[in-house]
């Protein structure tokens, strides 16, 4: 019975000396309340009552910094919120150098963000989220090492102006859009007038060119006719012109006029004119 009790006591003492540090954790062993050493994941032996094991997770943690107000360089109030991921890089600093390293890290990030945005105008801040993220990551990179923490990623989820500023910005945006729309409408109308005027001018020019071409064509045709006629007349004999003269005399004699003017060279041909013959006959009858 005594042996059994001793075996049980030894087993209990052994078990009380055994501690397990989980995967992706580190263990801080304290001896009589004072830091002794850091151990890795696995089975760890400690002295009961005298020593104590504290576990620190090395896994990545997400964190959210709730909305808070920041004043810009031009005294505009904006509200921002952030999300970040961090992990413990030095379990000793994380546990012993600060009573709440995570809270200290959050306050540090807030302070640097206020400083960055406080040096920017409202419009610059609202349009430079990526730039602010980069500057903030550079600013807090070395300082958080004091707490044994490394910020892996920090991101500004939103930057919102106050309600009054948002209303003013909406009004300004509406006015700008209306102005742009009015300018575009005026430019469109001016362009339409320009194109219409150009089309009318081109039509007038085309019509004038067509008329000029028609007149030129008609003149060319008339000139060709006259040239052809002149060429034919140049080739005609004297008999042709005499015949034309006699034919003209005949036509005049057949008309109502009693006066005919002829060339002296054609006096011998008067007998061929009917009107002359009649006048001659009447003169002869009176004499008789």
Supply angle C-alpha 223, 230, 237, rounded to 5: 170
Nearest Cα neighbor of 54 from 105, 90, 19 is 19
pLDDT value of position 280: 44
- Tens digits of per-residue pLDDT, 6-17? 777 767 776 777
Residue 205 has pLDDT above 70, yes or no: yes
Q: List, in sequence order, every residue forming a beta bridge with 62; answer none if it has no partner.
A: 85
Tell me which of 129 and 27 has the higher pLDDT: 27
pTM value is 0.52
Q: How confident is the model at residue 275 (pLDDT cuts 50, 70, 90)?
A: very low
d(CA 195, CA 176): 28
d(CA 267, CA 283): 18
Averaged confidence pLDDT in the chain: 77
Compute φ and ψ for 38, nearest 5 degrees.
Answer: -110, 135
pLDDT value of position 21: 87
**Which residues 6+ apart lie within 8 Å of 128 measured at CB?**
120
SS3 category, 169: helix
- For the ranges 23-27, 167-171, 174-178, 241-245, the one whose mean pLDDT is highest: 23-27
Residue 182 has pLDDT above 70, yes or no: yes
Residue 116 has pLDDT above 50, yes or no: yes
Minimum mean pLDDT among 86-100, 111-125, 143-157, 189-203: which range? 143-157
Q: Pseudo-torsion of CA 238, 243, 244, 246, nearest 10°?
A: 130
pLDDT value of position 241: 56
Orientation angle between helical segments 101-118 and 129-141, nearest 10 degrees: 130
The helix (run of H) or strand (run of E) holding residue 230 is helix 163-235
Nearest Cα neighbor of 107 from 157, 57, 159, 144 is 144
d(CA 94, CA 75): 37
- Tens digits of per-residue pLDDT, 235-258? 666 665 566 665 665 665 666 655
pLDDT value of position 261: 57
Provide mean pLDDT across the span 130-140.
Answer: 82
């Amino acid at each position: 019975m005594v042996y059994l009790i001793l075996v049980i006591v030894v087993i209990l003492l052994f078990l009380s000396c055994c501690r397990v540090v989980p995967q992706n954790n580190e263990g801080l062993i304290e001896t009589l309340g004072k830091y002794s050493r850091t151990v890795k994941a696995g089975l760890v032996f400690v002295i009961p009552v005298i020593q104590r094991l504290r576990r620190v997770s090395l896994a990545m943690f997400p964190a959210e910094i709730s909305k808070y107000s920041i004043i810009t360089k031009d005294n505009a109030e904006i509200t921002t919120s952030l999300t970040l991921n961090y992990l413990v890089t030095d379990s000793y600093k994380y546990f012993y150098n600060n009573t709440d390293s995570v809270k200290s890290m959050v306050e540090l990030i807030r302070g640097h963000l206020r400083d960055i945005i406080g040096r920017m105008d409202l419009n610059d801040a609202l349009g430079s989220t990526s730039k602010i993220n980069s500057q903030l990551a550079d600013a807090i990179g070395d300082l958080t090492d004091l707490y044994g923490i490394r910020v892996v990623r920090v991101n500004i989820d939103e930057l919102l102006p106050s309600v009054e500023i948002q209303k003013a910005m909406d009004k300004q945006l509406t006015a700008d859009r209306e102005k742009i729309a009015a300018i575009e409408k005026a430019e469109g109308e001016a362009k339409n007038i320009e194109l219409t005027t150009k089309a009318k001018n081109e039509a007038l020019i085309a019509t004038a060119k067509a008329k000029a071409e028609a007149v030129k064509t008609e003149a060319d045709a008339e000139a060709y006719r006259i040239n052809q006629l002149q060429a034919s007349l140049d080739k005609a004999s004297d008999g042709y012109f005499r015949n034309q003269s006699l034919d003209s005399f005949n036509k005049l004699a057949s008309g109502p006029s009693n006066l005919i003017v002829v060339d002296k060279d054609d006096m011998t041909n008067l007998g061929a004119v009917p009107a002359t013959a009649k006048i001659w006959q009447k003169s002869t009858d009176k004499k008789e």
